[in-house]
Amino acid sequence: MPLIFTPEQEELRAVVRKFLASYSDEAQVRALLDTDLGYDTSVWKLMADQLGIQSIAIPEEYGGAGFGFGELSVVLEEAGRALLCSPLFSTVVLAATTILESGDTEAARLHLPGIAEGRTVATLALVEANGRWTEDGIEATAVPDGEGFIISGAKSYVLDGAQADLVVVAAQTAAGTSLFTVDAKERGVTVTSLPTLDQTRRLATLTFDETPANLLGVEGRGWDVLSRVLDIAAAALACEQVGGAARVLETTVDYVKVREQFGRPVGSFQAVKHKLADMLVELESARSAAYHASSAVESSSPELPLAASIAKTYCSTAYYHIAAESIQLHGGIGFTWEHPAHLYFKRAKGSEQLLGSPAHHRELIAKRLSL
């Protein structure tokens, strides 16, 4: 994928932006914050039926549209702009990608058509109470049981864990780290919703007590799959962060143009101009990092691990700083919880920790550069 989008991708962007302007404006986002589910099932269905969003990156042989990561990155950027409340990231980026990367064609035929049609909400259960996004952080275990396995252990901070129908679980077997698919309604599954700073994204703890599970891919090769999935997901999240940061900057510029102090727009003050210029530099640098990582995914470049960690590190920091500066530039009104700037600020902070903190990815960068 080149760093410049094709006319078809830009048309996709326009269509998705128009859709989200109608179905994910501030009033609708706020209305969903107090609901148990956290998203609108009717909008989720429209996303599948009218736009085919859930199917974009799923191959045609599994009921998908057969497009690539470039198109998905466009959708994610627009979702970030609109603070879309939906299980899109957990289902399409985490779960579907893991199933595809596992190379398990039987599991793909079984689960991906439902995801593509918007019938199945899925997620990836990887991190545990230790909070580590690394192989040594996986302590849940799985042992053979008849033709399948049974899993025991707990997974924390599972994105949309309380909403998922299908859970892809990482656990340790005698052969090493392995992946499994679990029906969320299966026996032994306990779901506990977690309080979150960013209420536009839901997290849960999933506890498995000898829960029946099906092996996904090759036993003992789970981390080989997960390491690539996490790189792809980091690139995807970076695109979403760029969308959110861009929207924050746009609304801030619009505000300082009309807010007057001492008889003139505050945007005319040199100090404000300098802040906005710094925010723009951060945004465009983040955009370049995100698009480079997306290009590496699309081309299956060996540079992906490094590009993904760079994008996740920089985009996380840039989004958080831009959102924080936006609150400052809005003045007194910006400090009220009711102002939309805080919705983006909370999303920025939550996204900063999702898939590993900037510090975690700096360590990965050092390792990947053999420093």
pLDDT recorded at residue 351 = 97
Tens of pLDDT, residues 257-309? 888 788 888 777 889 899 999 999 999 999 999 999 999 999 999 999 999 99
Residues ≥6 apart with Cβ < 8 Å to 330: 252, 255, 339, 341
- This prediction has a pTM of 0.95
**Whether 146 and 193 share a structural domain:** yes
Residue 106 falls within a domain, yes or no? yes
Predicted pLDDT at 267: 78
Domain of residue 32, CATH code: 1.10.540.10
Same domain, 90 and 177: no
DSSP letter at 36? Answer: S
> Are 82 and 169 part of one and the same domain?
no
Residue 214 covered by a domain? yes
Same domain, 234 and 280: yes
Is the pLDDT at 18 greater than 60? The verdict is yes
pLDDT tens digits, one per residue of 165-183: 999 999 999 999 999 999 9
- Among 116, 148, 164, which residue terminates a domain? 116
Cβ atoms of 226 and 170 closer than 8 Å: yes
Residue 345's nearest CA partner among 329, 357, 327, 359 is: 327
Query: Is 37 within a domain?
Result: yes
Is residue 174 situated within a structural domain? Answer: yes
Residue where one domain finishes, among candidates 190, 220, 250: 220
Whether residues 81 and 139 fall in one domain: no
Q: Is the pLDDT of residue 3 over 70?
A: no
Q: Which residue has the tokens 């409340």?
A: 85
Distance CA 329, CA 342 (A): 13
Q: Is 18 a domain residue?
A: yes
CATH classification at residue 128:
2.40.110.10
Measured CA distances, 82 to 24, 159, 340, 353 (Å): 6, 19, 11, 20
Task: Look over the chain and give the mean of its residue pLDDT values, rounded to a whole number.
Answer: 95
Residues 97 and 233 sit within 8 Å (Cβ to Cβ) = yes
The DSSP output letter for 93 is I
pLDDT tens-digit series, residues 185-202 = 999 999 999 999 999 999
Q: Which domain holds residue 101?
A: 7-116
Note the pLDDT of residue 1: 46
Residues 290 and 337 in one domain: yes
H helix intervals, the chain: 7-23, 26-33, 41-46, 69-82, 88, 97-102, 105-116, 222-258, 270-298, 304-329, 340-353, 358-368
Cα first-last separation, the chain: 29
Q: Could you report the per-residue pLDDT of 67-117, keeping only the tens digit for each?
A: 999 999 999 999 999 999 999 999 999 999 999 999 999 999 999 999 999
pLDDT per residue over 30-64, tens digit each?
999 989 999 999 999 999 999 999 999 999 999 99
Task: Judge if 288 and 347 occupy the same domain.
Answer: yes
Helix axes 304-329, 270-298, angle to 10 degrees: 160
Half-sphere exposure of 76 (CA within 13 A, CB side): 31
- Same domain? 229 vs 316: yes
Length of the chain: 371
Residues 214 and 229 in one domain: no
Question: Which residue is it, tokens 């909403």?
Answer: 163
- Provide the β-strand partners of residue 145: 148
Decide if 1 is inside a domain: no
6-10, 158-162, 259-263, 304-308: the lowest-pLDDT one: 259-263
| 61/80 same-domain check | yes
109 lies in the same domain as 45:
yes
The CATH number covering residue 290 comes to 1.20.140.10
Beta strand extents in 126-202 (DSSP E only): 141-145, 148-159, 166-173, 176-183, 189-194
Is 2 within the bounds of a domain? no
Burial of 165 (0-12, 13-18, 19+ CB in 10 A): middle
18 and 97 co-located in one domain: yes
The last residue of a domain, from among 155, 188, 220: 220
Tell me the backbone φ, ψ of residue 130, rounded to 5 degrees: -70, -15
Query: Which residues share a beta bridge with 159?
Result: 203
Q: Is residue 339 part of a domain?
A: yes
According to DSSP, the β-strands at 166-173 and 122-125 are parallel
Task: Give mean pLDDT, residues 339-362.
Answer: 95
Number of folded domains that form the chain: 3
